[in-house]
Amino acid sequence: MSRIFDLLVIGGGINGAAVARDAVGRGLTVYLAEAGDYAHATSSASSKLIHGGIRYLEQYEFRLVRESLREREVLMRTAPHLVFPLEFLLPITADQPRPAWMVHIGLRLYDFLSGRRLLGRSGRLSRAAMAAIPRFRKGRARAVMHYPDCWTDDARLTLETLLDARSRGADIGNYRRVTSVAVVDGLYTAEVESHGAQETVRARSLVNAAGPWAARLLGTVTGADGQHPAARGLKLVRGSHVVIPMPEPQETRAFTLQNTDGRVVFVLPWLGRFLILGTTDVVHQGDPASVQCTDAERDYLLACYRDFFDHAVGPDDVVWTWSGVRPLVDDGSANPSEVTRDYVIDLKQPGAGPLVTIYGGKLTTHRKLGEHVMDTLAQAGIALGPSWTEHAPLHGGQLDRAQLAVLAETGPDLIAPAVRQRWVFTYGDVTRDLYARVLAEPALAVEVAPGLPEVELLHAATVEDAVTAEDFLYRRTKTFIVLDDAGRTAVAAWFAARNRRA
Ligand SMILES: Cc1cc2nc3c(=O)[nH]c(=O)nc-3n(C[C@H](O)[C@H](O)[C@H](O)COP(=O)(O)OP(=O)(O)OC[C@H]3O[C@@H](n4cnc5c(N)ncnc54)[C@H](O)[C@@H]3O)c2cc1C
């Protein structure tokens, strides 16, 4: 017998996660299907910023910037273990394409629109502070401005949003691919391939949160009239990042570099040991699943960095690259950097309840997007409780940063202090569950690879649905980047042995 839900969500990236969480908290029964691992596509390939997007002011995207700026503080409050303030430095150069006055006005506007309480305001560095920036090329900038934004772990933000939805009763699953949806007797009837098995799920309403696949997914949906709902045009724009080791002396602030081609490139400190350089904007023609940083993109990012910093980095210094495809609403802009970053929520009713498709969007605005989708469902006649996500702590988000520091200090001696420190800013208050598990079974403190007690892998597999070593190393944690080959192989062997037993 197939089950009937109020809402079927297709896609376990940040937007599907936000919709599922909001909906279940408003009283709907929810089923979410993610074809791969949670956040394996765009939602783990972002620049990891929770930001207003200062450059979008140039495109007059005031609505988007205002919403994004306000979301920074909401997310800092509700997910203090995952969303952290980050100070940005913005050099003003003689050869920059936009006039200095425009940058000054932009920063003022940024302060004004933000409604900030937790974050500071923008300003200008003193000459002495400017001269003290490590490796910054002397004379490269006439002035250096500073402004606050935030950063996060995009994959974990998505995961914690999904776990939150599950803790409220949603049926959430990864490795569940929706192969077709047909309207039968007024219900969306979806065929789902789930971990090798076939399942039929019926629902009164449907949200298509398939990101870069959103338009393609509509081709697998058949309305009561036998037709596929019409899709809007999506422009797929690839963005790549490269990671290099952070040189000494360390710089913990980020940089917004204005490249001579008019684009903005970020230099972001990461995990206390690396710098992320990103990103690019290249129209992507192929399958959104196969994206890679090209040599040309890598060289472009390194050249921009070297233009501002006296640090001779080359391709051999790159320790990792990643790329993602922005699923942007095609607004006719010829320049991929200028295509709108705002989202569109499209409603159809193909002989059943509402079918909502999400086009575009940002990591930063996911919670607000969830609210807008709920408004759309309500307009289409779905009965819903009031909005609630603005003040509710996210899964793992019950403790503030000071309390998290105490939790790290006071954990069991069986676990190394550095591991406890990493845990609290990965699992938040759920770190207590890992402590309890290891105290009940001390053998689980034994490390599978350096810095990885077995209890953590077990937690990922049993609570966070990690199925493969890649799920764990790249998305539940970012430990792939600090482990050597032997460590990564040990984690892979652990998951292989567990999957054989299952
Ligand atoms: C390079 C780059 C940098 C960015 N930087 C930032 C940033 O710093 N800050 C910010 O706020 N935003 C940023 N963004 C934007 C942000 O990452 C995206 O807007 C967001 O991740 C989109 O999420 P999504 O859920 O819509 O899509 P996705 O994360 O792609 O999720 C869609 C999911 O749908 C699933 N799916 C597809 N078809 C099916 C099916 N048939 N059955 C089941 N599941 C299916 C896919 O497997 C996929 O996981 C950036 C984007 C890129 C590409």
Residue 148 β-bridge partners: 87
> Which one-letter DSSP state was computed for residue 137?
P
Ligand 1 pocket member 32 (CB < 6 A): no
pLDDT band at 233 (very low <50, low <70, confident <90, very high): confident
Out of 363, 372, 471, mutate this one to test ligand 1's pocket (max ligand atoms within 8 Å of CB): namely 363
Proportion of the chain above pLDDT 90, given as a percent: 84
Q: Which atom of ligand 1 is closest in space to residue 216's alpha carbon?
A: 38
Other Cβ atoms closer than 10 A to 196? 6
Proportion of the chain above pLDDT 70, given as a percent: 100
Residue 137: inside a domain = yes
The confidence score (pLDDT) of residue 61 equals 84
Give the distance (Å) from ligand 1 centre to CA of residue 278: 17
CA distance to 136, 296, 311, 314, per residue, from 307 (Å): 9, 16, 9, 13
**Statement: residue 286 has pLDDT above 90:** no
Among the candidates 296, 311, 330, a domain finishes at 330
Other Cβ atoms closer than 10 A to 351? 15
In this predicted model, what pLDDT tens digit does every residue of 446-457 receive, in sequence order?
Answer: 999 999 999 999
**Statement: residue 41 has pLDDT above 90:** yes
Q: Is 376 left (phi over 0), alpha (psi -120 to 50) or beta?
A: alpha
In angstroms, rounded to a whole number, what is the distance separating the alpha carbons of residues 25 and 170? 9
Dihedral angle computed from the Cα positions of residues 195, 219, 230 and 358, in that order, rounded to the nearest 10 degrees:
20
Residue 91: inside a domain = yes
In angstroms, rounded to a whole number, what is the distance separating the alpha carbons of residues 425 and 120? 22
The confidence score (pLDDT) of residue 143 equals 94
Mean pLDDT for 116-143 is 93
The confidence score (pLDDT) of residue 275 equals 98
Mean pLDDT in the chain? Answer: 95
In angstroms, rounded to a whole number, what is the distance separating the alpha carbons of residues 502 and 495? 10
Residue 144: inside a domain = yes
| Helix orientation angle between 14-25 and 154-167, rounded to the nearest 10 degrees | 20
The confidence score (pLDDT) of residue 1 equals 62
**Statement: residue 337 has pLDDT above 80:** no
What proportions of the chain, in percent to the nearest 5, are helix, strand and coil?
A: 35, 25, 35
Nearest to 144 by CA among 163, 160, 123, 158: 123
In this predicted model, what pLDDT tens digit does every residue of 52-105 receive, in sequence order?
Answer: 888 777 777 888 889 999 999 999 999 999 999 999 999 999 888 788 888 888
Whether this prediction's pTM lies above 0.75 is answered by yes
Residues 135 and 176 occupy one common structural domain = no
Interstrand relation of 187-194 and 143-152 (parallel, antiparallel or unpaired)? unpaired
Q: Which atom of ligand 1 is closest in space to residue 239's alpha carbon?
A: 1
Domain that holds residue 200: 3-42+155-233+340-379
Residues 121 and 31 occupy one common structural domain = no
Q: Which atom of ligand 1 is closest in space to residue 279's alpha carbon?
A: 1
Residues 435 and 310 occupy one common structural domain = no
Say which residue, 53 or 417, is predicted with more confidence.
417
Longest dimension (CA), the chain: 72
Ligand 1 pocket member 46 (CB < 6 A): yes
Radius of gyration of the chain measured on its C-alpha atoms: 23
In this predicted model, what pLDDT tens digit does every residue of 356-411 receive, in sequence order?
Answer: 999 998 999 999 999 999 999 999 999 999 999 999 999 999 999 999 999 999 99
DSSP code string of 164-186: HHHHTT-EEESSEEEEEEEEETT
Among the candidates 270, 303, 330, a domain finishes at 330
DSSP code string of 208-274: E--GGGHHHHHTTEE-TTSPPPP---EEEEEEEEEEEEPPSSP--SEEEEE-TTS-EEEEEEETTTE
Residues 120 and 257 occupy one common structural domain = yes
